[in-house]
């Protein structure tokens, strides 16, 4: 039975956390120096390693002989803390029940020293979901924490936290994980799972993760479920709906060529393929914007979130159209975005706009 890759390959040591070097080295140094704070705040998009780092750090500060700042995994404390029933490291999910009761019981229990190691650690996930009264209860604990208490608050929405909480925490901002880092994680995990994957598919899956390890791995899960242990580029494209992108590029090319018949034919084909035409409008706008980036930015390859394949097609397409026209087209298509949602026939609206663009004459004002 195939287990979700994200669960199976959660990092157990700091060196397995990818793309957060600044945070990892700061946390390792704290473990090594034994200079541990009472409250930490981990912020950042989902799937960037907040909970993983919180778990590793909780064990590392308790471990009897940490290895380069990470838990050794072998000593009696590490083993005891690996047991899910241990009560020295407690996780609270603030999203599930607003946390009032949990924070209250936390205030009761925090007085008691840890059973196995030196510290009792509370990891509060999605801490921004706590209610005001839960925040107040938490604040009281943060104001006078017992010497053995460590709090790690994790959130995707840091601006929702009260300033009184923020000011008591050491803050770490988790970055989006770069495409290259995502590719290296995927490659390592595929190797360990004996999954064969070519470079092109690897890149496409990494890009689909959009900076999140969790998202990249859940895309990988879908592709593996579809194509088995040997991932093919075709299967990857199928799962990602990337063929759609190519048809959007073709449609735009027809507009640039002023080929009105070709425009109608492309829209017909896209519609026959079962594509949602409301989202087609948005995808055309994105495609035009990507072409503007290519025509005007020197580092366009870095800015655009597309595979090498698609990038090359976009570069070719960009050569056939002027920036002025693209701006005009982008205006027209972004104007119909909200209208599309309520249109009786989104297809007619798209056809009309595309034909208008195809007949656009940059020398005349139309
Ligand atoms: Zn240990």
Cα 246 to middle of ligand 1, angstroms: 52
Cα 50 to middle of ligand 1, angstroms: 21
Number of H helices, E strands in the chain: 20, 7
Contact 37, 67 (CB under 8 A): no
Cα 90 to middle of ligand 1, angstroms: 18
Reported as a single tens digit per residue, the pLDDT across 294-346 is 999 999 998 888 888 899 999 999 999 999 999 999 999 999 988 888 888 99
- Residue 3: the pLDDT is 62
Q: Where are the domains of the chain?
A: 5-173, 179-240, 242-358
> Smallest Cα–Cα separation from 89: which of 98, 74, 78?
78
Cα 105 to middle of ligand 1, angstroms: 28
Reported as a single tens digit per residue, the pLDDT across 91-110 is 988 887 666 777 778 888 88
- The dotted CATH code for 179-240 is 1.10.8.60
User: What class is the 242-358 domain?
Assistant: mainly alpha
Reported as a single tens digit per residue, the pLDDT across 249-304 is 999 999 999 999 999 999 999 888 877 788 888 889 999 999 999 999 999 998 88
Rounded to an integer, what distance in angstroms lies between the CA atom of residue 13 and that of residue 1?
Answer: 26
Overall residue count recorded for the chain in this entry = 366
- Chain centroid to CA 198: 22
- Residue 242: the pLDDT is 66
Cα 55 to middle of ligand 1, angstroms: 13
Query: What angle, rounded to 10 degrees, do the helices at 346-358 and 242-256 form?
Result: 40
Give the pLDDT band of residue 64 (cuts 50, 70, 90).
Answer: very high
Rounded to an integer, what distance in angstroms lies between the CA atom of residue 240 and that of residue 246?
Answer: 12
**What are the φ and ψ backbone dihedral angles of 154, each rounded to 5 degrees?**
-120, 140
Percent of the chain with pLDDT over 70: 97
User: What class is the 5-173 domain?
Assistant: alpha beta
Helical segments of 157-232, H only: 163-166, 179-192, 199-208, 213-227
- Residue 2: the pLDDT is 56
Cα 115 to middle of ligand 1, angstroms: 15
Cα 186 to middle of ligand 1, angstroms: 28
| Beta strand residue intervals within 146-185, DSSP E | 149-155, 170-173
Q: What is the mean pLDDT of the chain?
A: 91
Rounded to an integer, what distance in angstroms lies between the CA atom of residue 169 and that of residue 172?
Answer: 9
Rounded to an integer, what distance in angstroms lies between the CA atom of residue 287 and that of residue 245?
Answer: 8
Reported as a single tens digit per residue, the pLDDT across 139-195 is 988 998 999 999 999 999 999 999 999 999 999 999 999 989 999 999 999 999 999
pTM recorded for the entire structure: 0.77
Percent of the chain with pLDDT over 90: 66
Sort strands 230-231 and 196-197 into parallel, antiparallel or unpaired.
Answer: parallel
Coil vs helix vs strand at 174: coil
Coil vs helix vs strand at 304: coil
Q: Which residues pair with 121 in a beta bridge?
A: 89, 150
- Residue 1: the pLDDT is 42
Q: Which residues pair with 122 in a beta bridge?
A: 90, 151
- Residue 334: the pLDDT is 93
**Which tokens sit at 209?**
């993760």
């Amino acid at each position: 039975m195939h287990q979700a890759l994200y669960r199976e390959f959660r990092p157990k040591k700091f060196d397995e956390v990818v793309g957060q070097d600044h945070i990892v080295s700061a946390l390792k140094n704290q473990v090594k120096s034994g200079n541990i704070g009472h409250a930490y705040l981990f912020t950042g998009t989902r799937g960037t390693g907040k909970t993983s780092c919180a778990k590793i750090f909780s064990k590392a500060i308790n471990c009897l002989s940490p290895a380069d700042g990470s838990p050794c995994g072998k000593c009696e404390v590490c083993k005891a803390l690996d047991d899910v029933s241990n009560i020295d490291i407690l996780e609270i999910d603030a999203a599930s029940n607003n946390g009032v009761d949990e924070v209250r019981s936390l205030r009761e229990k925090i007085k008691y020293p840890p059973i196995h190691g030196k510290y009792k650690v509370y990891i509060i996930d999605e801490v921004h979901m706590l209610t005001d009264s839960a925040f107040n209860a938490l604040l009281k604990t943060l104001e006078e924490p017992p010497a053995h208490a460590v709090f790690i608050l994790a959130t995707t929405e840091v601006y929702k936290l009260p300033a009184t909480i923020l000011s008591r925490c050491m803050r770490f901002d988790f970055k989006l994980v770069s495409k290259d880092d995502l590719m290296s994680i995927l490659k390592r995990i595929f190797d360990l799972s004996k999954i064969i994957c070519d470079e092109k598919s690897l890149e496409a899956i990494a890009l689909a993760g959009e900076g999140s390890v969790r998202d990249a791995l859940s895309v990988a899960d879908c592709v593996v479920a579809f194509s088995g242990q040997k991932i093919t580029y075709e299967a990857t494209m199928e799962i990602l709906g990337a063929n759609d992108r190519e048809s959007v590029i073709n449609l735009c090319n027809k507009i640039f060529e002023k080929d009105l018949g070709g425009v109608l034919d492309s829209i017909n084909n896209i519609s026959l393929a079962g594509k949602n035409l409301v989202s087609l409008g948005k995808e055309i706008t994105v495609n035009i914007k990507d072409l503007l980036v290519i025509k005007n930015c020197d580092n366009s390859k870095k800015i655009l979130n597309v595979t090498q394949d698609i990038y090359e097609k976009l570069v070719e397409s960009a050569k056939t159209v002027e920036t002025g026209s693209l701006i005009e087209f982008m205006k027209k298509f972004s104007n119909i975005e909200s209208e599309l949602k309520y249109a009786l026939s989104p297809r007619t609206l798209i056809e009309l706009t595309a034909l208008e663009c195809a007949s656009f004459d940059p020398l005349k004002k139309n």
